[in-house]
């Protein structure tokens, strides 16, 4: 067999209306086995509606989709057996212990006997909770709770996993740990469909789709998206000890400067997209100095997906 | 004490302690936030951020120490406190079945605004939050970003001197997040003192000062730029298409303290003392990737301080 | 001095009004709640008025006539003629009674002894025995009442010293001569409806604010505890009075319940009761902070007493002393008593004052607990 990648999620012209409102509008894409597929968009752009349809929880108004070979409209039961789903809202029972939650989900997926015991042990391992199985779920920090939710969505070893904003409100350390698990799963052949507002996480996806007002307006690898949607050179301007006031002084100086396409504050620095003639060493710094911002250091940087997101959404 | 009027803090905590049963959620916390200052409280989940904010706004009674808002003791919860404090909890706090107008009217009545004052305030706040054309929409039909902006407007109706926000941009998309931040800067420029907790390090870096909370203690506090300057390790960027292979290969090099996927490659934090050895090994170990030093950012500071404190 | 006091007072009024207005809006946005609150009394009064009728009719009767004389037949006829009892069997052997009871074919047996006529002729007390199937308690009690009434008539007419007549039966017969259950059920039903809907809704209202997180925001505003509590009570108070009106109108026009006393006094009594029970609902809500727990506590602690300990279905006089004490500590029995006095007997204020005082005292105690327990903190 040639190594044609196996399509696990196939979406063709998927549409969902709520009354006059079109939440998802003629969306088509496919996801292959072992891929981490990022699905981005502003609040209300149609991300969750898409996921709910693909999980067989919501019937599409139009179009069709298959998930692990099952048609979402005609065989929602088969879809549900082959997927794991972790919703935005916390899906565990806060008043049950770690083990009790896993026990419940193991029963929900009809696991029994030795397999059940083995899967539950693996889930505890995956969540990093092997030594805290009797802890009440509500007493766990947010990051660990999310990992437990992930582990319980994986108990039945689904080939496809849908994660809807799995790291909302989770601190950076815990987010890293969470994504380590996600990448590990993808390497093991699980297909992952993830929505997130953290664009540094989206960089870790193999491919990223961008939703704006129900439409899929871009779909590519992170590098491809940057090349297409934020062309030009990206420079990063720092202000040394200037802090936030310095950042704002830089942004004020950039306003109306020829050759500058746009800028965004990124933490302590400002990302500036410029024409090639401004990209040469010292050019932008000189222009800034002319406008009274002397302490700026300028270095070349990669455009981030946040630049892409902002460019697409504000278009 | 002579220049009380100019230097009196808008928000102040002195030796705050709060226990829940045997766990100490907040331990000897002192901070002081001036009018026109934007202060960010960061820390891992369970570090005590929410407890600290609740102590400051008087929703929890401290076991020790004292919190004040514009001079009024927080846990006494008197009228002076409420008049000078705006607070936005982490959870949904508005009434989803009421419209934007009705929610604003409700809080306006609670704060006792006169009708001219109220109209003026609402017009201003709806203007800066760009919610004017949605006035009649029910709060639960608003997007996450709009909902937060409405909550912010409700907390600002009575012109408080201090604003306390618990993870205000949680679950808000990047565009709305930026809009909220622009709004915050406008308010700070007007002289409002803002204290916020956030899990986003890029947001923390945009505060005037940040406090790093770990296990209920403030382990560092300074301007983000100063904390970055004080960062002792070195940051490198490794461009690697095959990120997983690069991560495995780099993992055991000397001095590597943290490795994380970042954009098109890996970000590596190396102890300064071992930097020389690290670079030599990288050059000699037949590594086919491109290595270049990069400026440490605030997230690096946060990560390394958190790891060190654990 | 008075200007700031006045300003503070008008601020408090405004905040209370804002809370009340907000609650009214919640109601308006969720019309099902209001619909339920108004449909529930209708359903209950129809169920109790028609379905669960306590009017006993066509009670199967077996007559064991061992005397077989004109007098014994007159007695048996008197029982069957009223339409209350349905003669299903006649026997001359007492042994026939038990199988009929066991099979459910008869519930009451009239046993006339062999010397009935002779005893009457001698001028002695002529005694007949009435056996009642005690397993169907309600029917049994009421059947006995009827039997006593029939016996009473007989006594007056034919049997000089026939049956003893207990006082209770006499009282009921006096004010409710037809013994129609709707008449004594409507006052009890008002109590039941008020606790089911109004108290349940109030119990949920504060817990809901805690659960959704809005309480945290409210605490950061100048709103005071009493303002919050009063503001939250008001809409449910109005809703409760609407329910009273509904039950009264349906009771009077559909079931012809007499309305002998002052309507204003009925509403005054209902208002005091409502305040007492709503304050109780608030205490539940404040203490539990969870809608689920609040609903259950409210059901157990308000619905059951209203049903069981109020004199509505079960006479308080027949209760064991501990239950009587519990009953006297809770408001329902006082309103049942007051409403029966006003509606059925046409009594005035003076006779319901003790009831009003008892309910008022309960209200004050609950308000004190509510404000004490209601801390402006989250933990």
Q: Does A238 touch chain B (CB under 8 A)?
A: yes
Topology of the domain covering A230-313: Alpha-Beta Plaits (3.30.70)
Q: What is the mean pLDDT of chain C?
A: 78
Give the ipTM of the model, two decimals please.
0.80
Rounded to the nearest 10°, the torsion over CA B102, B107, B108, B109 is 90
The Cα–Cα gap between B59 and C188 comes to: 43
Tens of pLDDT, residues B189-219: 899 999 999 988 889 998 999 999 999 999 9
CA distance A41 to A164: 12
Give percent of chain A with pLDDT exceeding 70. 96
Distance CA A120, CA A129 (A): 11
pLDDT more than 90, % of chain A: 39
Residue pLDDT, tens place only, B122-158 = 999 999 888 999 999 999 888 888 899 999 999 999 9
Give bridge partners of residue C91 from the DSSP assignment.
C64
> C201: which strand partners?
none
Q: Average pLDDT in the B180-194 region?
A: 91
Per-residue pLDDT at A32:
96
B225: nearest CB among A165, A200, A241: A241
Interface residue of B11, B98, B112 to substitute, partner C, most C CBs within 10 Å: B112
pLDDT tens string B80-90:
788 899 999 98
The Cα A140–Cα B47 span in angstroms is: 12
Between CA B81 and CA B71 the distance in angstroms is: 8
**A-contacting residues in B 189-228 (Cβ below 8 Å):** 199, 201-202, 205-208, 223-226, 228
Residues 112-131 of A with CB under 8 A from B: none
CA atoms within 13 A on the CB side of B156: 26
Query: Distance between CA B2 and CA A301 in Å, rounded?
Result: 49
Q: Which of B182, B204, B218 is nearest to B301 (CA)?
A: B204
Which of C15, C220, C377 faces B87 most closely, judged by CB atoms? Answer: C220
Of the partner residues B59, B151, B154, the one whose CB lies closest to the CB of residue C377: B59
Sequence spans of domains, chain A: 7-220, 230-313
Tokens of C260: 């002998």
Q: CA of C215: which chain B residue's CA is closest? A: B93
In a mutagenesis test of the B interface, which of C24, C220, C376, C379 is the best target, namely the one with the most B β-carbons within 10 Å? C220
CATH architecture of structural domain A7-220? 3-Layer(aba) Sandwich (3.40)
* Contact status of B261 with chain A (Cβ, < 8 Å): yes
Q: Which ranges in C30-66 belong to alpha helices (H)?
A: 31-46
pLDDT of residue B55: 94
Which residues from chain C sit within 8 angstroms of residue B110, using beta carbons?
A: 15, 18-19, 218, 221-223
Across the interface, whether the CB atoms of B45 and A171 are under 8 A apart is answered: yes
CB B39 within 8 A of CB B33: yes
CATH architecture assignment, domain B4-228? 3-Layer(aba) Sandwich (3.40)
> Alpha-carbon distance C245 to C232, whole Å?
21
To the nearest 10°, report the CA torsion of A204, A208, A212, A214.
Answer: -120
Q: For the purposes of burial, counting CB atoms within 10 Å of the CB of C330, is it exposed (0-12), middle (13-18) or buried (19 or more)?
A: buried
Helices C263-288 and C225-254: crossing angle in degrees, nearest 10, is 140
Tell me the percentage of chain B whose pLDDT exceeds 70.
97
Alpha-carbon gap, residue A267 to B270, rounded angstroms: 22
Q: Say how far apart CA C41 and CA C196 lie, in whole Å.
A: 9
Question: For residue B140, what pLDDT is reported?
Answer: 86
* Partner-chain contact B87 C17, CB within 8 Å: no
What's the pLDDT band for C162 if we cut at 50, 70, 90? very low
Under the banding of pLDDT at 50, 70 and 90, the label for residue C52 is low
Domain parsing of chain B, residue ranges = 4-228, 232-309
Owner of token pair 């006997």: A113
Chains C and A physically touch (3 or more Cβ atom pairs below 8 Å): no
Q: Which one of B174, B244, B262 has the shortest CB-CB distance to A310?
A: B174
Of A195, A191, A120, nearest to A155 by C-alpha is A120
Which residue in chain A has the smallest CA separation from B166? A169
What is d(CA B228, CA B180) in angstroms, rounded to the nearest whole number?
25
User: Using CA atoms, how far apart are residues C357 and C76, in angstroms rounded to an integer?
Assistant: 50
DSSP C300: I
* Residues A137-148 pLDDT 10s: 888 888 888 889
Q: What is the pLDDT of residue C166?
A: 28
Largest CA distance in chain A: 75
Which whole number is the average pLDDT over B101-113? Answer: 92
Structure confidence by residue, pLDDT tens digits, A95-140 = 889 999 898 888 888 888 899 999 999 999 988 899 999 998 888 8
Q: Report strand pairing: B217-222 vs B234-239.
A: unpaired
Over chain B, what is the mean pLDDT?
Answer: 89
Closest CA to C185 of C258, C242, C245, C263: C258
CATH number for the segment(s) C59-175:
3.40.1710.10
The DSSP call for residue C303 is I
The CATH architecture to which B232-309 belongs is 2-Layer Sandwich (3.30)
To the nearest whole Å, the CA of A97 is away from the closest chain B CA by: 18
Rounded to a whole number of angstroms, the distance between the first and last alpha carbons of chain A is: 44
Q: Between chain C and chain B, are at least 3 CB pairs below 8 A? A: yes
Q: Grade residue C82 by pLDDT with cuts at 50, 70 and 90.
A: low
**C-alpha span between B235 and B293 (Å, rounded):** 6
**Residue C56: predicted pLDDT:** 58
Residue A13, token pair as written in the block: 């012209």
pLDDT: which is higher, B241 or A59: A59
Integer Cα distance of B136 and B133 in angstroms = 8
Which chain C residues are Cβ-neighbours of B90 within 8 angstroms? 213
Half-sphere exposure of B120 (CA within 13 A, CB side): 7
Q: What is the mean pLDDT of residues C281-301?
A: 85
Query: What Å distances lie between residue B187 and B156, B193, C309, CA to CA?
Result: 10, 8, 60
- Distance CA(B55)–CA(B59), nearest Å, equals 6
pLDDT above 90 for B38: yes
Place of tokens 């005292």: C361
Q: What is the pLDDT of residues B62-84, one digit of tens each?
A: 999 999 998 888 887 677 788 89
Those residues whose C-beta lies under 8 Å from the C-beta of residue A104, and which sit 6 or more positions away, are A93, A96
Separation between Cα atoms, residue C153 and residue B189, nearest integer Å: 95
Q: What is the pLDDT of residue C91?
A: 83
- Cβ atoms A93, A148 nearer than 8 A: no
* B306–chain A Cβ distance below 8 A for any pair: yes
Instruction: Tell me the range of A89-103, A144-158, C155-169 where mean pLDDT is highest.
Output: A144-158
To probe the interface with A, which of B39, B42, B50, B174 has the most A CB atoms within 10 Å?
Answer: B174
């Amino acid at each position: 067999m040639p190594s044609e990648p196996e399509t696990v999620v196939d979406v063709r012209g998927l549409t969902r209306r709520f009354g006059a409102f079109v939440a998802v509008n003629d969306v088509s894409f496919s996801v292959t086995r072992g891929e981490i597929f990022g699905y981005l968009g502003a609040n209300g752009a149609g991300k969750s509606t898409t996921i709910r349809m693909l999980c067989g929880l919501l019937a599409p108004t139009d179009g069709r989709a298959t998930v692990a070979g099952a048609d979402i409209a005609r065989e929602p039961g088969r879809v549900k057996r082959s997927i794991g789903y972790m919703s935005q809202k916390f899906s565990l029972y806060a008043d049950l212990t770690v083990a009790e939650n896993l026990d419940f989900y193991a029963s929900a997926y009809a696991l029994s006997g030795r397999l059940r015991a083995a899967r539950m042990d693996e889930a505890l391992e995956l969540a990093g909770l092997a030594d805290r199985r009797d802890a009440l779920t509500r007493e766990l920090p947010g990051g660990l709770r999310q990992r437990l939710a992930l582990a319980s969505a994986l108990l039945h070893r689904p080939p496809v996993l849908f994660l809807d904003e799995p790291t909302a409100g989770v601190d950076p350390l815990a987010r890293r740990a969470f994504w380590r698990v996600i990448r590990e799963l993808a390497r093991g052949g699980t297909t992952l469909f993830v929505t997130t507002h953290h664009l540094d996480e989206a960089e870790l996806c193999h491919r990223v789709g961008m939703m704006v007002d129900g439409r899929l307006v871009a779909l590519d690898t992170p590098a491809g998206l940057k090349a297409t949607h934020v062309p030009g050179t990206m420079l990063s301007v720092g202000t040394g000890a200037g802090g936030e006031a310095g950042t704002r002084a830089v942004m004020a100086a950039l306003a109306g400067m020829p050759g500058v396409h746009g800028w965004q504050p990124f933490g302590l620095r400002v990302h500036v997209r410029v024409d090639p003639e401004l990209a040469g060493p010292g050019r932008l710094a000189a222009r800034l100095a002319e406008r009274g911002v002397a302490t700026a250091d300028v270095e070349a940087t990669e455009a981030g997906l946040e630049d892409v997101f902002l460019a697409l959404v504000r278009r | 004490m002579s220049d009380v009027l100019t230097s009196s803090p808008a928000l102040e905590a002195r030796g705050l302690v709060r226990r829940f049963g045997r766990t100490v959620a907040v331990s000897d916390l002192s901070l002081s936030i001036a009018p026109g200052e934007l202060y960010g409280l960061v820390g891992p989940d369970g570090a005590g951020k929410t407890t600290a904010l609740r102590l400051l706004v008087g929703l929890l009674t401290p076991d020790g120490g004292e919190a004040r808002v514009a001079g009024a003791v927080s846990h006494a919860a008197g009228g002076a406190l409420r008049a000078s404090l705006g607070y936005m909890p982490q959870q949904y706090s508005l009434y989803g079945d009421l419209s934007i107008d009705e929610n604003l009217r409700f809080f306006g009545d609670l704060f006792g605004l006169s009708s001219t004052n109220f109209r003026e305030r609402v017009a201003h706040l709806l203007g800066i939050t760009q919610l004017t054309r949605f006035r009649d929409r029910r709060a639960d039909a608003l997007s996450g970003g709009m909902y937060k902006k409405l909550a912010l407007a409700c907390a600002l109706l009575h012109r408080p001197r201090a604003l306390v926000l618990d993870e205000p941009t949680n679950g808000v998309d990047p565009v709305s997040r930026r809009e909220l931040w622009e709004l915050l800067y406008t308010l700070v420029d007007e002289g409002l003192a803002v204290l916020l907790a956030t899990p986003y390090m890029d947001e923390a870096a945009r505060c005037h000062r940040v406090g790093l909370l770990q296990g209920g203690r403030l382990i560092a506090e300074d301007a983000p730029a100063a904390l970055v300057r004080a960062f002792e390790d070195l940051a490198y960027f490794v461009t690697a298409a095959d990120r997983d292979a690069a991560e495995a290969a780099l993992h055991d090099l000397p001095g590597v303290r943290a490795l994380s996927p970042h954009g098109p490659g890996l970000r590596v934090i190396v102890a300064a003392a071992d930097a020389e050895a690290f670079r030599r090994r990288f050059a000699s170990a037949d590594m086919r990737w491109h290595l270049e030093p990069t400026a440490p950012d605030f997230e690096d500071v946060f990560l390394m301080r958190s790891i060190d404190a654990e | 001095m008075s200007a700031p006091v006045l300003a503070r007072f008008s601020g408090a009024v405004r905040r209370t009004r804002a809370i009340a207005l907000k609650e009214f809006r919640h109601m308006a946005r969720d019309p099902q709640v209001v619909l339920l609150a108004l449909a529930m009394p209708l359903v209950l009064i129809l169920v109790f008025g028609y379905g669960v009728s306590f009017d006993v009719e066509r009670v199967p009767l077996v007559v064991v006539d061992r005397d077989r004389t004109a007098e014994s037949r007159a007695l048996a006829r008197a029982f069957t003629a009223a339409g209350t009892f349905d003669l299903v069997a006649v026997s001359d052997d007492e042994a026939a009674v038990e199988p009929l009871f066991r099979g459910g074919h008869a519930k009451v047996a009239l046993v006339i002894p062999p010397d009935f006529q002779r005893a009457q002729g001698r001028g002695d007390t002529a005694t007949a025995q009435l056996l009642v199937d005690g397993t169907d308690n309600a029917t049994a009690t009421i059947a006995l009442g009827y039997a006593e009434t029939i016996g009473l008539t007989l006594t007056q007419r034919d049997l000089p010293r026939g049956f003893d007549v207990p006082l209770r039966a006499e009282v009921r017969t006096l004010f409710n001569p037809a013994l129609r259950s709707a008449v004594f059920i409507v006052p009890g039903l008002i109590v039941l409806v008020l606790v089911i809907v109004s108290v349940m809704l109030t119990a949920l209202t504060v817990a809901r604010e805690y659960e959704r997180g809005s309480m945290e925001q409210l605490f950061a505003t100048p709103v005071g505890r009493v303002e919050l509590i009063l503001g939250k009570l008001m809409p449910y108070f109005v809703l409760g009075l609407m329910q009273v009106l509904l039950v009264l109108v349906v009771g009077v026009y559909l079931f012809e319940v007499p309305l002998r006393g002052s309507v204003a006094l009925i509403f005054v009594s209902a208002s005091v009761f409502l305040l007492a029970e709503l304050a109780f609902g608030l205490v539940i809500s404040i203490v539990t902070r969870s809608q689920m727990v609040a609903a259950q506590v409210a059901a157990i602690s308000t619905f059951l007493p209203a049903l069981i300990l109020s004199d509505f279905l079960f006479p308080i006089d027949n209760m064991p002393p501990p239950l009587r004490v519990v009953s006297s500590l809770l408001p329902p029995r006082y309103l049942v008593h007051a409403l029966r006095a006003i509606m059925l007997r046409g009594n005035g204020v003076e006779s319901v004052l003790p009831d009003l005082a008892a309910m008022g005292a309960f209200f004050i105690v609950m308000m004190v607990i509510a404000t004490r327990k209601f801390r402006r903190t989250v933990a």
